Amino acid sequence: MLHQIDGLILDMDGVLWRGSDPMPGLFNLFETIQQRQLRCVLATNNSTVTRDQYVEKLTGMGVQLRPDQVLTSSDVTAEYLSTVASPGTPVYVIGEVGLSDTLRSYGFRLTPAGAAFVIVGLDRRFTYKKMETAMSLILAGAQLIGTNADATLPTPSGPKPGAGALLSAIATATGTSPLILGKPEPPVFHHALAHLGTAPERTVMVGDRLDTDVLGGNRAGVKTVLVLSGVTSQADLAHSPIRPTWVLEDIRHLAAILESGTEIPGTP
């Protein structure tokens, strides 16, 4: 039952806010989480923003969280690199400030000179020259790593190319298969569960995307809630083989269930 849980993994865009606007019920959700003494971590495939920037955004919306309660695909990437490479290792980054700053904070040198890894996130200043540099490094032996494989990025004006589109171009040019670290792949869920300290069967992933949030949560053995406030519609759900445990309209419905202890049926 949804109200009998210990921890929440929350996606952000399309769940907690849309662009710069908080979703209705945002403050009440976190108030309910605190009252129920539930553990929570926010997990996103967005590599362009740092943990501290997310904390600042939430503070502006009236929600207080610690930086260690935010997990971005940049954090997961840096954590992974720290297990396979020593500080000072040169890496070539195609991405924005969130990814670059996070990798620097772990001691990696951001340079194409002798780079052992090519790290690809969303880069809205992506150029042919950057792809050419990445290709040369990969053909010389560097490993290709993607922060996530999202083909599109939701924006107020409609979908735009995501990090996965850039990653796919480089993978095609080099004939290599990248290592993907963001949702729906296991690393981000392993990190989230380790932070929460909760059992998978008593943890819920709440997201608005079937192919990342729900699929990844299902694979990780956690319960999944699809909210219809983001990119996925009822029609999308009807035609998808990916099935969440529960479907809710938005976080207002989630907060009400957590607060009241109401039992809801699973998704058929």
Domain definitions of the chain by residue range = 7-45+183-260, 75-180
CB 11 within 8 A of CB 208: yes
pLDDT for 19: 83
- The CATH code belonging to domain 7-45+183-260 is 3.40.50.1000
Helix (H/G/I), strand (E/B), else coil: 120: strand
Task: Specify whether the CB–CB gap between 250 and 227 falls below 8 A.
Answer: yes
pTM of the full structure: 0.91
**Local confidence pLDDT in tens for the 268 residues of the chain:** 787 899 999 999 999 998 889 999 999 999 999 999 999 999 999 999 999 999 999 999 999 999 999 999 999 999 999 999 999 999 999 999 999 999 999 999 999 999 999 999 999 999 999 999 999 999 999 999 999 999 988 777 888 999 999 999 999 999 999 999 999 999 999 999 999 999 999 999 999 999 999 999 999 999 999 999 988 999 999 999 999 999 999 999 999 999 887 666 655 5
Q: Which residues participate in catalysis according to the annotation? A: 11, 13
Distance CA 147, CA 136 (A): 20
Environment class of 70 (CB within 10 Å of its CB; exposed 0-12, middle 13-18, buried 19+): buried
Q: Which residue has the tokens 């840096």?
A: 78
Residue 161: per-residue pLDDT: 94
Which class for 121: exposed (0-12), middle (13-18), buried (19 or more C-beta within 10 A)? buried
**pLDDT confidence of residue 4:** 82
Instruction: Return the CATH architecture of domain 75-180.
Output: 3-Layer(aba) Sandwich (3.40)
Q: Quickly count: other Cβ atoms within 10 Å of residue 132's Cβ.
A: 12
Sort strands 7-10 and 39-44 into parallel, antiparallel or unpaired: parallel
> Could you tell me where the DSSP H helices lie in the chain?
26-35, 51-60, 73-84, 97-105, 128-139, 163-174, 186-196, 215-220, 234-238, 251-260
Residue 198: the pLDDT is 97
Residue 267 has a pLDDT of 58
Angle at 122 between CA 182 and CA 174, to 5 degrees: 85
Cross-strand partners of 179: 145
- When computed from its CA atoms, the radius of gyration of the chain, rounded to whole angstroms, is 19
